[in-house]
Structure 1
């Protein structure tokens, strides 16, 4: 044990802290210089006394692992990766999340989204212009720009009827695409 030393610099390791790397004793200085991951934010080595947080092959010191927008800590928090950046859920929603074309609020992850004519709507925003009920997956008729009428309201208010029996003669039906974000 009196000749137990670092494989790379020959520093004696007896009574010292060291790292066994591939069964080779390595002093902390050599480990940090040669093998420690570099922090993506500050570019300094992440030594043995620091927590190494990693995502998609990049590494950070715990104090460097921050939201790219608000600079709040992401350590022990949920976060979202976008392009090369990392964001807290609030900043991600503010900057990147899809928005409803009616209320302009964001779609949360897993929330149902209705799409029609290039526009996206929350279920509570995808409403009949007459009865204000959710159209959901039901058939509807578009009237004018951004005005949707559910089939019962269309039939009651706009549909052509048979002069003899008053039954609806023509039903116009349009469908919607429903996705989950």
Structure 2
């Protein structure tokens, strides 16, 4: 008597019947389909052993179920993408989901090179300078109202020029006496130290740092003999061609402050009216 040749699962004889090996064991067709066949993502039915099966992102489909969910076109030989787990042909995706280029009003195809800025989309070649019309690509640009300019065109047309170096000023600088400077170009007339962010004053049209102005132009306090610059407290007292810082304007004998008080001169001295040697 010959050896038996049975289905591994149902033990029915396979003599004279079709069978499929699975895990090195023979299975009848019904058992194989039930145990090993995949389920179609679309129709939820078994994909039988003799059916053509398509596979995409861990999902299985009958060939006739692999279709665009919008237009029902077969995607077996067509380019496609997915939208919320649904398959979509390129035409439907382009019409319903793709952005349109604001320059040419044509669709920006999925996967194509594009640029996005401030909520708008361009084909890479359509994002061009409003002045020279050359594509800007990934280079720096300046927006102006609804137009965009490459840096050379913007600097040549719109950017103010630095009063010192005469080059375009495209970002934060210094404004002084209705003129603009690059921060690194706004210098003390005396020592050439940058003045941006520092206290400074002027003599005529020329800016000076505190030190240079003090050395060159500031009057000396008759009390402490240092420069009166107008910085800090900034207040001073002037009398008979002499000047004092307010804290230095004191009685020459008793050192009481004379600011807002009566006083009288005695040769080079300034005396309080109530000074012991002063008038009654």
TM-score range, shorter chain: 0.7 to 0.9
Cα deviation, residue 31, structure 1: 1.7
Equivalent position of 2:55 in the other structure: 54
Q: Which residue of structure 1 lines up, in the alignment, with residue 160 of structure 2? A: 160
Whichever of the two has the greater Rg, that structure is 2
- In 2: Cα distance, 1:108 partner to 1:100 partner: 10
Q: Deviations over 1:3-54 (max 9, x none)?
A: 3222333332112111122233211122223332121222221111111212
Q: What is the aligned partner in structure 2 of residue 170 from structure 1?
A: 169
Corresponding position of 2:74: 73
Task: Name the TM-score, length of structure 2 as normaliser.
Answer: 0.52
The answer to whether the Cα contact below 8 Å between 2:19 and 2:28 also exists between their aligned partners in 1 is yes
Q: Following the alignment from structure 1 to structure 2, what is the Cα–Cα distance between the partners of residues 162 and 142?
A: 21
CA RMSD across the alignment = 2.9
Output aligned runs, 1:122-161, within 5 Å: 122-144=123-145, 146-161=146-161
Deviation at 1:121, TM superposition (A): 2.0
Paired residue for 1:45? 46
Task: Note closer, same or farther for the CA distance 1:110–1:65 as it changes in structure 2 (3 Å cut).
Answer: closer
Instruction: Give the superposition deviation at 1:66.
Output: 0.9
Q: Which runs of 5+ in 2 are unaligned?
A: 173-280
- Give 4+ residue runs of structure 1 displaced > 4 Å after superposition: 161-165
- Consecutive unaligned residues of structure 1, counting only runs of 5 or more, are 174-181
Count of aligned pairs between the two proteins: 171
Higher relative contact order (CA 8 A, sep 6+): 1
- Whole-Å separation in 2 of the counterparts to 1:25 and 1:119: 61
